[in-house]
Amino acid sequence: MSAQRRFWQSTAWRKALLPDSGMAEAEGLAAGTGLLTGEVARTTQVAAAACPLCDAPAEVVVIDLVAKQTSRSCPACGHRWTSDEPALTQRPRR
């Protein structure tokens, strides 16, 4: 078998075609520790909050179910902060 053909059948090439697989693995590991991240965190029902610096709407980055904290980021000014919030009472939307 030629070296070129082996490259196209290699695992490295197949992984290059799945760019989000690393993020899925990271989110799975985070979920095992009580952290909601990525799309799950963005679609989970939490209280709306505005940025304390510029008053723009903020987006949820991480929800820590163990520490009962929510980390948010402001897309307008880039400020990031964490606030204490009670445990979630609703399940995430899908």
pLDDT at 92 over 80: no
Nearest to 59 by CA among 67, 69, 68, 70: 70
pLDDT at 68 over 80: yes
Contact 72, 50 (CB under 8 A): no
One-letter identity of residue 67: A
pLDDT digits (tens, 9 = 90+) for 44-64: 888 888 999 999 999 999 888
pLDDT at 86 over 60: yes
Q: Comparing 89 with 18, which gets the higher pLDDT? A: 18
Contact 83, 58 (CB under 8 A): no
pLDDT digits (tens, 9 = 90+) for 9-41: 666 656 665 555 556 666 655 556 778 888 888
Side-chain-facing half-sphere of 46: CA atoms under 13 Å: 26
Contact 62, 35 (CB under 8 A): yes
